[in-house]
Amino acid sequence: MFLFLSILIILIHQTNAQPGFLYNFCLNDKGNYTANSNYHNNLNTLLSNLSTNTQIDYGFYNFSYGLGNDKVNAIGLCRGDVKPDNCRSCLNDSRVLLTQLCPNQKEAIGWYDNCMLRYSNRSIFSTMESSPTFYMSNRGNATNVDQFNTVLTNLLNSLLSQASLGDSRRKFAIGNVTGPGFQTIFGLVQCTPDLSEQECSDCLVGAISQIPQCCDNKKGGRVVTASCNIRYEIYRFYELANVATSSPPPKVLPLPPSPTGNSSNSRTVLVIAIVVPIVAFVILVIIICICLRMRKSRKHIEDEAQNDDEIQSSETLQLDFATIMVATNNFSDANKLGQGGFGPVYKGTLSDGQEVAVKRLSVNSSQGDIEFKNEVLLVAKLQHRNLVKLQGFCLERKERLLVYEFVPNKSLDFFIFDQVKRAHLDWERRYKIIGGIARGLVYLHEDSRLRIIHRDLKASNILLDEVMNPKISDFGMARLFATDQTQGNTSRVVGTYGYMAPEYMLYGQFSVKSDVFSFGVLVLEIVSGTKNSGVHRGENVEDLVTYAWRNWREGTASNIVDPTLTDGSRNEIMRCMHIGLLCVQENIAERPSMASVLLMLNSYSVTLPLPSQPASFTNRRTLSTNPIHSEEYNSGATKSSSESQFQSVQASVNEASITEPFPR
């Protein structure tokens, strides 16, 4: 749905990049100023302060000067890995050059490799602007294009979510993946940090979607817009300085500038190249010592070693039982929101008036208190706009409670399967919900550092906030109960009949692709407004997936679409159904990753492969002789007919989760 309006797009190749800026625009239609006018003087004052301003130490500068019609606004942005001194000199070069090249335009923008400078009389802060845009591409062709594109897409989408979660000083991410032929693909994405998370994400999605126009099949390319930019190459074109974790602000080690950059500051290269290795070595030694010491004092999951942080958050996250008793009226029935797979959920109001949902875990965790606490702290770090936030926990009197943010508009199943309430969800909303769920899953699968597999994704686990933005709930439960398994076989199946991937249901094999399967079922349910378990058409009972596949193949796909959907483009609806069918394919390898799903949703220029045979529930029901869970399967399947019993807000009431996540 994202409309990318780029009015000014110029395609240039690396060889004919002009000296000075990579590219610049003087925007003639935005007004001119005359020499020595107020605007001119304000501009000079503002820009001359640029190189002395300390805000630049963060690689970002946003300032304005002047009053009324003569107010000038400027934004300077350095590439996230550029150190402050280079940043300053790059911006200093920019201001000189840009005012020379655009001697009387009120608005102008210029890009170097290392920085961007932009000014205007309009307010340009905190707004996402995708125009003007320019492209650059490497002249070399990529080998094994399809695989290259898949890997690249995954990389950029994962960087996208990482960068958009950055703080107000920096929204930047770099990373590499191994592509076809063991070559490494390096990627970089950046937004101006004054954008919101959503704006940054939208801007980058737009930029990524232009790769086919810009750099189709090339082994390197850039899409550069006013508010964000992306670049990928098969060599490392950025410095690894201070970006290892992408969180600390750039008060950092001096490191040599990019050896591959053809940038303006080659003068500084020699000096720095001599000094830096020595300094870097010393710093490295210090860091190693610190790390070793930390290791000694605490054994912890290796990718999350910010211990001081955690000790502190443990204190602030842990609530005592008495507080929760008061908040939930002693777990009164009146406060009960529903019964989820892991226990009942109560609405509570903390003493400061904040509303929360308290999940009282009724099952025994296999973990000791300390492990449980550590897991909660890790799960609490997962923060994304499409995930229900875990705000605290309680461990007392053998009780284990999880405290979540309260999400007011109940769950998706409450609307989508209800003859009347589904009218609240027109196509535009449904489409946004699909996109939001996809973003949340990409975060869980790829960006959160923990690689969480949800394992019980379903409509009742999708909560809706006051603006009907979807939030995934119950993620990380597998982590809270079982030992850490990111992929593997499990003898105990957690999940809900109708959403479970066949390999998981039958053999207990789970992976991110089993979540993709559940997502596919969910998309088909959202498009059709029907539950997967049992579509009755005449005397035939078919599950939705089979029904959708059959109609799709027979060219009658519009039969599947919810008849109450009167708005929205048929194309978009069909595309979603197509994506849904790709996700439920029987063949695990053919199911796309969530990152590719997100790209497919966002970009119409991505051609979708044809779906192959989906896994059939109808057949599997007879196949399902799994001794552990046969009763649960039945209850899951039959209960679905009693649709009326929805009381669920925070939890899954309707479809019984099959929960037996802990090995004995």
**The tokens 């780029």 sit on which residue?**
6
449 contributes a contact to ligand NAG by CB under 6 A = no
Q: Is 456 an active-site residue? A: yes
Residues 99-138 that bind ligand NAG (CB under 6 A): 104, 106, 121-122, 125
Per CB under 6 A, the list member of 6, 24, 86, 92 interacting with ligand NAG is: 92
Per CB under 6 A, the list member of 19, 353, 368, 488 interacting with ligand NAG is: 488
Sign of CA dihedral 223, 225, 230, 233: positive
**The tokens 């630049």 sit on which residue?**
56
Token code pair at residue 248: 């600390």
45 contributes a contact to ligand NAG by CB under 6 A = yes
Per CB under 6 A, the list member of 38, 196, 329, 635 interacting with ligand NAG is: 329
Q: Tell me how far the alpha carbon of residue 4 is from its chain's centroid.
A: 19
455 touches 514 (CB < 8 A): yes
Per CB under 6 A, the list member of 139, 295, 298, 536 interacting with ligand NAG is: 139
Residues 6+ apart with CB under 8 A from 34: 40, 104
Residues 56-85 that bind ligand NAG (CB under 6 A): 62-65, 69
Q: Which residue number places its CB atom closest to ligand NAG?
A: 31
CB of 46 to ligand NAG, least distance (A): 6
67 touches 117 (CB < 8 A): no
Exposure string of 387-424, with b = 16+ CB inside 10 Å and e = fewer, is: bbbbbbbbbeeeebbbbbbbbebbbbbbbbbbeeebee
CB of 649 to ligand NAG, least distance (A): 11
Indicate the residue among 330 and 540 with the shorter CB distance to ligand NAG: 330
141 contributes a contact to ligand NAG by CB under 6 A = yes
572 touches 605 (CB < 8 A): no
360 contributes a contact to ligand NAG by CB under 6 A = no
Indicate the residue among 2 and 65 with the shorter CB distance to ligand NAG: 65
CA nearest 42: which of 68, 60, 16, 20? Answer: 68
Per CB under 6 A, the list member of 306, 486, 509, 624 interacting with ligand NAG is: 509
Computed on alpha carbons and rounded to an integer, the radius of gyration of the chain in Å comes to 27
Choices 46-54, 348-356, 644-652, 655-663; region in contact with ligand NAG by CB under 6 A? 46-54
Per CB under 6 A, the list member of 466, 539, 554, 631 interacting with ligand NAG is: 466
Q: Residues 456, 474, 515, 543: which is the catalytic one?
A: 456
302 contributes a contact to ligand NAG by CB under 6 A = no
Q: Which CA distances in Å does 306 have to 288, 291, 294, 399, 652? A: 15, 11, 9, 28, 34
Per CB under 6 A, the list member of 227, 367, 409, 650 interacting with ligand NAG is: 409
> Rounded distance, CA 446 to CA 606, Å?
21
List residues bridging with 10 in a β-sheet. Answer: 134
Residues that bind ligand NAG (CB under 6 A): 28, 31-32, 45-46, 49, 51-52, 62-65, 69, 89, 92, 96, 104, 106, 121-122, 125, 139-141, 168, 175-176, 184, 193-194, 236, 325, 329-330, 364, 408-409, 424, 466, 488-489, 507, 509
Q: Which sequence positions are flagged as catalytic?
A: 456
